[in-house]
Structure 1
Amino acid sequence: MTPYDAVGGEPVLRALVTRFYELMDTLPEAEACRAIHPPDLSGAAEKLFEYLSGWLGGPPLFTDKYGHPMLRRRHLPAKIGAREAEEWLLCFRRAWAETIGDERLAKAILPQIEALGRHMINI
């Protein structure tokens, strides 16, 4: 079983991403992270869903559309400091806890997400 299957596949992954962006859009403690995103988060949400789908072993939606993720390069136009990265991770952790919550999966997946989030720091 892939991590994609273990989290519940497409419906749960979509719920995770939806909740993630709801949190980013509403939490005062995520304001710096929110500020570097466009006013309409729908495009970012779809790309994150597509990326996570393939990254977790599900359909490779992002790479089918856009090729290799090159996430750091794609994020270079945004000024991402430690604050923005930590706020992004705060939203991701909360969304995970609210939509998936599986501690065993969290221990396997969240450290990788945290490393990825911090790798985006470019200032």
Structure 2
Amino acid sequence: MSDTAVVVSMFERIGGTVTIDRLVESFYRRMDELPEAACIRAMHPSDLDPTKQVLKRYLTEWTGGAKLYSVEKGHPRLRQRHMGFPIGSAERDAWLLCMRGALDETVADGAARQELDVALSRLADWMRNQAGNPHDAGGHPA
């Protein structure tokens, strides 16, 4: 018997490539269908297939799967890559609405789903680049 703990990546916990694929498809389907997501859908090209592939590669690597994103694109630099898009609280909230619905639909493990929600919420909050209220990036309380 070994005292060595087995570390299981989030990628493995949620079901690997199959779940990542389903998650991304669900996310973009929601972006297309939900009126609340129109503000972020407008930032994307009409053909979402290339964007879906990038997000699948990113999420695979981000959750501990194969390094598919950085091999092709280098360091994610997500905030820098998204600076050309105005991202405020409304855009963050729309993105999270789509992502949370996709997580609920595709990730069966409740604890893993909650951990992902916390991490993705932090990421979405950090991506804001528009001032609006004291809690937005660039806004400063008086």
Instruction: Determine which structure has greater relative contact order: mean sequence separation of CA pairs < 8 Å that are 6+ residues apart, divided by chain length.
Output: 1
| Residue 54 of structure 1, aligned match among 61, 68, 87 | 61
- The structure that is helix-richer by fraction is 1
Matched letter for residue 86 of structure 2: K
**Shift in Å, 1:107:** 2.1
2-structure distance, mates of 1:81, 1:54: 26
**Shift in Å, 1:102:** 2.1
The alignment's C-alpha RMSD in Å is 0.9
**How many residues end up aligned between the 2 structures?**
123
2-structure distance, mates of 1:118, 1:13: 22
Residues 1:63 and 2:70 are matched in the alignment: yes
| Residue 13 of structure 2, aligned match among 1, 6, 10 | 6
Matched letter for residue 83 of structure 2: L
TM-score, normalised via structure 2 length: 0.83
Matched residue, 2:29: 22
Larger CA Rg, structure 1 vs 2: 2
Return 5+ residue gaps in structure 1 as ranges.
Answer: none
Matched letter for residue 116 of structure 2: I
1-structure distance, mates of 2:13, 2:80: 30
Matched letter for residue 104 of structure 2: A
Matched residue, 1:96: 103
| Residue 86 of structure 1, aligned match among 89, 93, 99 | 93
Q: Secondary structure at the match of 2:90?
A: helix
Q: Secondary structure at the match of 1:68?
A: coil
2-structure distance, mates of 1:102, 1:27: 25
Contact residue 12 and residue 65 of structure 2 kept, 8 A:
yes
Return 5+ residue gaps in structure 2 as ranges.
Answer: 1-7, 131-142
**Shift in Å, 1:81:** 1.3
TM-score, normalised via structure 1 length: 0.96
Q: Please say which of residues 59-68 and 37-46 is displaced more in the overlay.
A: 37-46
